[in-house]
Amino acid sequence: MKNFIKEYFNFSKREQNGMLVLFAILLVLIDANIFVSVHKSNQKVDFSDFETEIDSFLVYQQTHFDDSELFAFDPNSASREDLLRLGLSPKSVNGIMNYREKGYKFYKPEDITRVRTLKPEEYEVIKDYIVIERQQYGNNYSRNDYRHEYRDNDNAQPSELFEFDPNTATKDELERLGFKPWQAENIVKYRSKGGRFKQPSDITKIHGVDADFAEKLMPYIKIESQSQPQPQTASYDILVNINTATASDFQKLKGIGEAYSKRIVAYREKLGGFISVEQLREVYGMTDELYNSISANLEIKGEPIRTININTANFKTLVSHPYIDKNIASAILNYREFAKIIKSTDELVKQKALSKSEYDKISKYISVE
């Protein structure tokens, strides 16, 4: 046994040298592994891309009713742009489009709640503006469903016939015509949110109004040609400070109704304040003709502009500004990551993070403290 063990562990000179070389290599590999592990643990991990993706995801889910335009629409045919104009989040809009692409249809206004991405609060805002064209019902919408939907006006006769404008008629006048109280309330509510009847047949767009009943009223519907309600006070002698004026103040200007005034105030809030009267041209729906007719009545007085601190703002805050898109926001964040602290806003141009035209447009709305 001793001879066996001695013979088994007896190595030649060459074998001994080989073992020493292998041992040396093993030590080098162990040291290298320890060095790499320590180096990685001390290395700063860059989460900026991950944070940007998170911010983009939050924007994707964000509604924008503050600067939206509410109008009658059919969810079976409305375009993606129309749905976004209503103030719905991109996520909800994609959900509606996917629902339609799968061959599903909306037969009643409340059917839109079947879209899982649509939030209950979004439905509450748009439900009174949902108008589903009768022909969209097809074979899937039974006669029983139709009668249930419109039973309150089936075979109804107008109580009292007289000429009326559905854009201005009072609730009492609508009830005198034969509308049920809740239908008259729907019409008033539709108008209060900026809705407008452009032609007599639009009365059938109000949820619950039977087409046969509406047809009897058609000869008596007289719609004024103006696209906007006339303001109660219209004077060319007034001056409106566009940075402090309320929605009611704007409505004193000729041609500015409730919907326009709310859009102006909402846009001002998103901007952080106006620095030029010309910026009113950027408000959705503002035509050159309307702007030219009111520009002499507009002024800007010393109201400080609300700025965004580019040393602390995140992606979501940056892209919420009308002048800052995703590319500009990413460029600012990338430069901030590189510089650590941005000492002056013009660094963005000097270091070529932004072009001069991009910087000039946002310079009044950004700060470094």
The amino acid sitting at 240 is: V
* Segment 207-219, tens digit of pLDDT: 667 777 888 888 8
Supply φ then ψ for residue 366, to 5 degrees.
Answer: -125, 155
* 60-73 mean pLDDT: 72
CATH class of segment(s) 71-134: mainly alpha
- CB count, 10 Å around CB of 312? 10
Indicate if the pLDDT at residue 52 is higher than 50.
Answer: yes
With 0-12 / 13-18 / 19 or more C-beta atoms within 10 angstroms meaning exposed / middle / buried, residue 117 is: middle
Alpha-carbon gap, residue 302 to 312, rounded angstroms: 26
DSSP class of residue 221 equals: B
Which of 78-82, 116-120, 198-202, 276-280 has the lowest average pLDDT? 198-202
Indicate if the pLDDT at residue 234 is higher than 70.
Answer: no
**3-class secondary-structure state, position 155:** coil
Show the tokens assigned to 221: 């519907």
pLDDT of residue 160: 77
pLDDT of residue 139: 41
pLDDT of residue 342: 94
Supply φ then ψ for residue 242, to 5 degrees.
Answer: -70, -10
Q: What is the DSSP string of 271-319?
A: HTS-S-GGGGGGSTT--HHHHHHHGGGEE--S-PPP-EETTT--HHHHH
pLDDT of residue 278: 92
pLDDT of residue 341: 93
Say if residues 96 and 299 touch (Cβ distance below 8 Å).
no
Alpha-carbon gap, residue 248 to 68, rounded angstroms: 18
What is the average pLDDT value for the chain, to the nearest integer? 79
Indicate if the pLDDT at residue 242 is higher than 90.
Answer: yes
pLDDT of residue 19: 79
* Segment 92-112, tens digit of pLDDT: 999 999 999 988 898 888 899
pLDDT of residue 50: 55
Indicate if the pLDDT at residue 323 is higher than 90.
Answer: yes
* Segment 74-96, tens digit of pLDDT: 899 888 888 988 888 889 999 99
Mention every residue, 6+ apart, whose C-beta is less than 8 A from residue 271. 279, 321, 322, 323, 365
Predicted TM-score (pTM) of this structure: 0.42
Indicate if the pLDDT at residue 43 is higher than 60.
Answer: no
Say if residues 56 and 330 touch (Cβ distance below 8 Å).
no
Domains 148-220 and 240-299 share a fold: yes
Show the tokens assigned to 7: 């013979």
Percent of the chain with pLDDT over 70: 78
Alpha-carbon gap, residue 279 to 301, rounded angstroms: 15
| 200/224: higher pLDDT | 200
| 17/363: higher pLDDT | 363
User: 8: pLDDT confidence band, cut at 50, 70 and 90?
Assistant: low
**3-class secondary-structure state, position 115:** coil
**Mean pLDDT highest for which of 35-49, 155-169, 213-227, 340-354?**
340-354
Indicate if the pLDDT at residue 223 is higher than 60.
Answer: yes
Q: Which CATH architecture has domain 240-299?
A: Orthogonal Bundle (1.10)
pLDDT of residue 348: 93
User: So where are the chain's domains?
Assistant: 71-134, 148-220, 240-299, 308-367
Element containing residue 366 per DSSP (H, E): strand 366-367
User: 57: pLDDT confidence band, cut at 50, 70 and 90?
Assistant: low
Beta bridge partners of 299: 241
Percent of the chain with pLDDT over 90: 28
* Segment 304-318, tens digit of pLDDT: 889 999 999 999 999
Residue among 271, 290, 273 nearest 281 (CA): 290
Looking at domain 148-220, what is its CATH homologous superfamily? Photosystem II 12 kDa extrinsic protein (1.10.150.320)
Angle (CA) 272 319 84, round 5°? 100
Alpha-carbon gap, residue 26 to 30, rounded angstroms: 6
Indicate if the pLDDT at residue 197 is higher than 80.
Answer: yes
